Amino acid sequence: MADSTTARKPAGSRSGAAGLPVETASVRPVALGAGVLVSHPLALSRTAGGMQLCTDEYARTLRAAGVELAVTPLEHDRRRLTRLVHRLSPQPYPPQWRNAAVRDIITSASRARARFVFLNLVNLAPLAAVLRPHLPAETEIVLLSHGLESVDFLHTIPIETRSRRLQAELGRRLLDERRHRASIGQVLCLSDWEAEIERWIGARHVTAVPRTLPDRPPLEWTPDPSRLGFVGTLDHPPNADGLHRFLQAFEPVAPTGCRLRVVGGPVSAGRALAGRFRAVEYLGPLSDADLESESTTWSAFVHPLFCFSRGCSTKLAVALAWRIPIATTPSGVRGYVWREGTLPMAESPEALARLACSLTDRAASIGARDAVAAVACALPTVEDVGRIIHQALAR
């Protein structure tokens, strides 16, 4: 299957409305009660990054599940002494809050008579042990995971390493993650495979929440056969590894004049990439409006990911909503479930390079766009996912 150029539903995907029985798909969940969403302000901002998109998706689907949701921002503790302590004694999951912030959460939950306290991102998992003694027994703490720290940290360690420091740091992350789960009632996460890791480290109740489409209209697509596109954080180890491996395979077979137009930061990483690969045209970070304008000209959105990194690839959902051609990999679609249809996909860098080259042909790219549109229509809706979450929270 290494040279496969299309993919059916991912392994483990299910029929019906994202795994729900078809006959219950129109039933609206009953109210579950009040919930307090605790989150760092950055995750709540209107910046269109992966963390913000995932946070917004969690909020929309929790409300669809019947939760009356209130948001409590949790400011980082940025005092000089706190930063100095973290620098001298680094921890995988440092306590990033002041005592006053904890009191605010407890007060908010009490006033709302909250049935649930939702902790957004695994970075706030240590907060569960602090909150638990101050909350009523019937108030459940639920972790909204965007992915485990240990999953990505593993990919920063060379396979041949014998560094005891790196081995110890990975072990410490896993042990911390296991310890945090003791105070957490449930975990919602972004993919089936990471749900299994959550169970392995001791989470008691875990639900994988499939992806939905963000609220983005389709683009007025006017493809240029000399343009392919990539969007991502360029110093994120899985992204950097996948992009380098793809470009090494792409440059020798790229059509004359064809370039991969790279969007993202940091700028230093983008410039280094353009200096190393002649097939790269680095555009830097772009605003949402400029990115949409740029993406209308791409023959395909290339998403080269060859390892199962934490969370999910949120930018793939944006490309699906835009209805532009996509060339990706099995690990790139982790967390996505669709009822029917195929996506252009390949497993190896060489096969993905050939697939990307083929999509510079107008007829092939139109066919890929139609396939993407069919899959986008077959993804679960916010209401579908709300029913999955309702079933988990109402257990």
Rounded distance between C-alpha atoms, residue 104 and residue 249, angstroms = 53
193 CB-contact burial (10 Å; exposed 0-12 / middle 13-18 / buried 19+): middle
pLDDT in tens, 128-175: 999 999 999 999 999 999 999 999 999 889 889 999 999 999 999 999
Specify the long-range contacts of residues 197-206, CB closer than 8 Å, at least 24 apart. Answer: 197/148, 197/151, 198/145, 198/148, 201/148, 201/174, 201/177, 202/178, 203/143, 205/392, 205/395
Give the HSE-up count for residue 220: Cα atoms under 13 Å, Cβ half-sphere. 1
DSSP 310: S
Helices 288-295 and 314-322 pack at an angle, to 10 degrees, of: 60
Place of tokens 């510079």: 360
> Greater confidence, 263 or 87?
263
Q: Which residues contact 81 (CB under 8 A, 6 or more apart)?
A: none
The pLDDT of residue 1: 34
Q: For residue 121, which of 97, 146, 140 has the smallest C-alpha distance?
A: 146
pLDDT band at 5 (very low <50, low <70, confident <90, very high): very low
How long a stretch of residues is the chain? Answer: 395
Q: What are phi and psi of 187, to 5 degrees?
A: -125, 130
Residues 101 and 134: beta-carbon distance below 8 Å:
no
The token pair at 143 is 């972790």
Q: Provide the H-helix boundaries in 277-361.
A: 288-295, 314-322, 349-358
The pLDDT of residue 26: 52
The token pair at 57 is 């998706």
Rounded distance between C-alpha atoms, residue 41 and residue 53, angstroms = 13
pLDDT in tens, 83-138: 777 777 778 788 878 888 999 999 999 999 999 999 999 999 999 999 999 999 99
The pLDDT of residue 46: 82
Query: Does residue 257 register a pLDDT over 50?
Result: yes
Rounded distance between C-alpha atoms, residue 339 and residue 366, angstroms = 22
Residue type, 209: V
Its pTM stands at: 0.89
